[in-house]
Chains A and B, each alone.
Chain A
């Protein structure tokens, strides 16, 4: 096969593998610390805590995940694995509003894909990205349960029915 993807490390000599110990960011996340204290010990508490932490900080960057992992005595890989599994968790700062174009079967056949293509053009960003002004994060949803309204678009918690490429610009203008 063609190109091999190789990711090599630092130089082999051991000294370069040593780093100064990191300062724990506990002081930077007091509200999350409170949430952790509330949920600690409950089975499945990780998702609750991540949900609350994202609610407070808007996203779950590496140092926040490290803080949560340390506080719950979990490997960072487990926390990061859960965050990467659920599409509603985000490691990057999100826009002020989140646009979710439904691409469930019904919305797809009624033109959801065209809305996606249109938004890509008009917002100038790809799916999963945030506009430069920080206003919109653009995502795709897999069936939001509003098939009768297809094609549907959600902006934050509001559902818009029978959206078209033409209509979506007017909707966005309200935000």
Chain B
């Protein structure tokens, strides 16, 4: 690739001829503010925050879309650019309901930061009617407030391009423009899958998760409740970001210590039920391999993907694993096995899931998610972000906490359970166990590198005792769609497929800490977070799910064998085809 030399604020830098002004400036260590630009999506140049002065152009150019030329002189901070950006910002602020103190994104808002950076002291324009909240809370996982929307369209683009869903878009025009669903319907009347990717890219508080922290606080304060918490695999490698720690820091020990100090009666690891998932799903896979029915088996850990399948690809429902997700298996085991072991009434146990995911909030309301009939498996599902807020509320100085271990009864797990947090992890964990079962040996092969990494679609073929197993892994729903279309057309054929709704898997889930787009555009979040997971797995002694003593005890003492009738009753679920246009009467 050819390179060119440009000057950024007088400093010479060499960059690729394909770079934009924004990228060249970054190479020179200069940030140009952006609102609409997203690295993985073609620039739309809509927000005008990045306007910059460059030599050879008639007016200011949109740095996110304007290509560099050899010898170009870029002046990111000219008076002209500064004035234009400030004016644009004032116009955006004039229609933005500025309730910063009570906003979910207080202290972590891109608009708030721009307002500070551009020294906005007064918003001179605006109408009182724009300052009225416009709450739409039809979905379980999300709350929209268009009075805070700045029309940057990041949510629209990630929904349509990255997830291939497109249930929201700009409607009307001029002052009346708003991001909404077709015909201004509520989100629950669309085939939204609850992935929450829109929340993670929203620069303001227009899109937020439905906060369930009060529910958890109330349970903790209720002395009649035995409150247990389980943390998903990926949360330990992202939570630190909320406390200023570098991306990709594993804070498992501090997270456990924090939860214990908050007053949970049991601090457990959902990695344990990820191991349990492998036992059940591995057994299911071997059964289907033998019978040849309903192949490929498709994983069901990601509730966003499951809902996507039900709305858009109902023909693949028979292929879905009937296993509940690790969160739901955790709840199910707490209300049955654990309740029995502890001599507790399941009704007195309050189960909290700490998840990287907004769809988990929805998942707990799904049908067939009650191991004890009538009692939900999980009572509250909160995101990594909500946990961080609760830690702040508790007055705990997170970075100073000692490292502590999970409570042992549900706290010992394998590396296989841990890697569920990254795309390809469920597949690799399954292969580690299935290969041992098929060969009847304790194999040394632990690393299945072909299914790792953040590419959208990965394929591999493995020899299991002479039988060729073809697998595929997709993350991000546009990739899932592409993969399923190939399977449908007969172009590709697999025995097992892992699908995660969010690009990169749970480490990049809709409930993970929000990094501003200025970071997302230039730092590979997914790789850094995944690296922390794989390095922890590498250092673990026990790396196969079936080797876990907790798993052995659960089956010996309670469930019998994987796939047993009891296991099916407690740990498996059902699916249903859903309309692409819910609520539209013909």
Interface, chain A (partner B; CB < 8 A): 1-10, 12-15, 17-23, 25, 62-63, 65-66, 74-81, 84-85, 91
Contact = CB atoms under 8 A, between A and B. Distances in A.
A85 B178 CA distance: 11
A144 to B, nearest CB: 18
Contact of A1 (B131, B171, B173): B131
B133 A77 contact: no
B135 A6 contact: yes
A77 B182 CA distance: 4
B365 interface: yes
Contact of B586 (A10, A63, A78): A63
B132 A1 contact: yes
Contact of A21 (B140, B190, B579): B579
B516 interface: no
Interface string B94-132: 000100000000000000000000000000000010011
Interface of B: 97, 128, 131-140, 160, 165-173, 181-183, 186-188, 190, 362, 365-367, 576-584, 586
A20 B582 CA distance: 8
14 contacts: A4-B132, A5-B133, A7-B136, A10-B138, A15-B367, A19-B578, A22-B584, A62-B183, A62-B584, A77-B181, A78-B160, A80-B171, A80-B183, A81-B182
Nearest to A16: B188
B366 A14 contact: yes
A5 B183 CA distance: 18
A62 B134 CA distance: 24
A106 B138 CA distance: 46
Given A15-B367, A62-B183, A81-B169, A7 B579 contact: no
Nearest to B187: A9
A17 B188 contact: yes
Nearest to B140: A12
A66 B172 contact: no
B207 to A, nearest CB: 15
B480 to A, nearest CB: 16
A12 B365 contact: yes
B578 A18 contact: yes
A62 B170 CA distance: 17
Contacts of B581: 22, 66, 76
A25 B362 CA distance: 31
B169 A77 contact: yes
A68 B186 CA distance: 21
A-B interface, 8 closest residue pairs, ranked by CB to CB distance from nearest: A9-B138, A75-B166, A80-B182, A77-B169, A9-B188, A81-B169, A76-B182, A4-B133
Nearest to B173: A85
Contacts of A76: 182, 190, 581
Contact of B138 (A7, A23, A74, A80): A7
Contacts of B576: 18
Contacts of B136: 7
B166 A19 contact: no
A18 B583 CA distance: 8
A1 B160 contact: no
A58 B37 CA distance: 39
B171 A22 contact: no
B188 A25 contact: no
B128 A6 contact: no
A19 B579 contact: yes
B379 to A, nearest CB: 13
Given A75-B166, A77-B181, A22 B137 contact: no
A19 to B, nearest CB: 5
Contacts of B170: 81, 85
A80 B134 CA distance: 21
B139 A9 contact: yes
Contacts of B187: 9
B135 A4 contact: yes
A84 B581 CA distance: 19
B181 A5 contact: no
A17 B582 contact: yes
Contacts of A7: 135-138, 186
A56 to B, nearest CB: 20
Contacts of B182: 62, 65, 76-77, 79-81
A143 to B, nearest CB: 15
Given A22-B579, A22-B584, A5 B172 contact: no
A81 B184 CA distance: 10
A91 to B, nearest CB: 7
A5 B365 contact: no
Given A5-B135, A9-B138, A15-B367, A75 B578 contact: no
A74 B190 CA distance: 14
A75 B167 contact: yes
Given A14-B367, A22-B581, A77 B166 contact: yes
B412 to A, nearest CB: 33
B336 to A, nearest CB: 21
Given A3-B132, A80-B169, A66 B584 contact: yes
Contacts of B131: 1
A44 B97 CA distance: 36
B415 to A, nearest CB: 34
Contacts of A19: 578-579, 582-583
A148 B403 CA distance: 81
B169 A78 contact: yes
Contacts of A2: 132
A120 B132 CA distance: 30
A23 B584 CA distance: 10
Most buried by B among A2, A17, A84: A17
A38 B284 CA distance: 48
Contacts of A78: 160, 166, 169
